[in-house]
Amino acid sequence: MTRSWAALPTWAKVAVVYIVARLVTVAFVLLAAQLAPAQSQLGSVNPLGDFTLAWDAQWYWLAAVEGYPDELPTDDNGHVTQNAWAFLPVYAYAAKAVGAVLGGSWGAGAFVVSFVGGYLACLGMCAVIRIRQGRAQAMWAVVFFAFGPLAPLFHIGYAESLFLAELFAALVCVLKRRWWWLYLLVPLMAFTRPGLQAFALMLAMYGIWRWFLRRRDRLPAREVAHIVVIGLFAAAMGFAWPAIAGAVTGDPGAYLDTELSWRRGWVGTEEFAPLEGWFSAADVWFAVWGLPARMAPVAVVALVAASAALVLFLPAVRRAGPELRMWAASYLIYLLLVFFPQSSIFRLMVPLAPAVAGAAAVPASGGRAGLVRAGIMVACLVGQWAWIWFMWAHGSDYWQVP
């Protein structure tokens, strides 16, 4: 059996792990549907279909079916209300096209795109980790990723699966210095999920790092040109969708106002300033939890310091390689600047998976690798069940949106 497994090509090994992991997720969803109350997001007749189309999947469906509004919807006070401009088009229209080819609905296409995107993301994860840590660690990273707490994303009508496949491919290109492919991947990422500015920041860090190491690691002029041009291209493309929204609606702030319309339900304001979202959210959550309000800013600072320490100093993360640490740092900075933390924070952290899974795949010293990996697997499965149970089986409140 061991020899047969070793003889399989990498794509087949990843496929086996991925399919088994998806069967586990299906079992969790069906079990949660049986135990859930009547008003559950999982429904009672077709829980797997309900799981695919719940929550934000409805917005992607709306964008694919009705397109994006020429005029921003507003409430009685003139405030922009929630609308499809917050959801980028690549996933929405890819699901529509696949659904049409299959002769089915948008939901069928969404499931296929997410499912296939998840498999491609696992292949990308394997490639990313293998470059710096070797085959064995790469396969363990795939296992933890495929069975991880957020693995149900590979079943639902969200753009994360597709974005992760694109992102991991882009990280492989950086690690292998295959620059030309990034000219294709960057615009795809730009219109799949927000956050391309983080990739631009990572390329800036990467370029500086390569510059200081140029005597040990040759840095040809053509590579300098690629890093600079792709970094600027990514930074510009990160603002392309807001520019399109402004051009179509005639309102330069259309995209930002749309995004902030979700925040108004939490804090009653649509103002935006970098970093401010975390402090506002801390005030909200500390009030919900009954904690002293004066401790909220302290908690934010402590969280930032702890995240920086993990990325910079944790030995397992350091062994994942400098490029993945730069990506993790860049993405965390991006979230810190623009995000308003609420229940979707777990989903927003998934792009950190290469650094996290790469760190988790590092074997423990002293022959404890098997025990440590078993513990990580248990944590992955418990986390996955908890996410399905609290966000779908009991997801009916403002703080339970995945």
Model pTM? 0.93
On the 0-12 / 13-18 / 19+ scale of CB atoms within 10 A, 278 is buried
Count of residues for the chain?
402
Residue 57 confidence (pLDDT): 92
State the Cα–Cα distance between residues 175 and 324, nearest whole angstrom: 9
All residue ranges of the chain with pLDDT < 70 are 1, 43-44, 268-270, 363-367, 395-400
Q: What is the pLDDT of residues 290-338, one digit of tens each?
A: 888 778 777 777 877 787 777 777 777 777 788 999 999 999 999 888 8
- Asked if residue 72 lies in contact with residue 79, where contact means CB atoms within 8 angstroms, the answer is no
Phi and psi, residue 84, nearest 5°? -70, -15
Q: What is the pLDDT of residues 256-275, one digit of tens each?
A: 999 988 887 777 666 778 87
State the Cα–Cα distance between residues 271 and 92, nearest whole angstrom: 28
Residue 400 confidence (pLDDT): 67
Domain regions of the chain by residue span: 2-67+89-193+196-237+273-400
Q: What residues does 397 pair with on adjacent strands?
A: none
Using DSSP's 3-state secondary structure scheme, residue 402 falls into: coil
Quick one: tokens of 102?
């299959």
Q: What Rg, from alpha-carbon coordinates, does the chain have?
A: 21
Closest CA to 200 of 168, 176, 160, 236: 236
On the 0-12 / 13-18 / 19+ scale of CB atoms within 10 A, 160 is buried
Question: What are the counts of helices (DSSP H) followed by strands (DSSP E) for the chain?
Answer: 20, 0
- Asked if residue 235 lies in contact with residue 200, where contact means CB atoms within 8 angstroms, the answer is yes
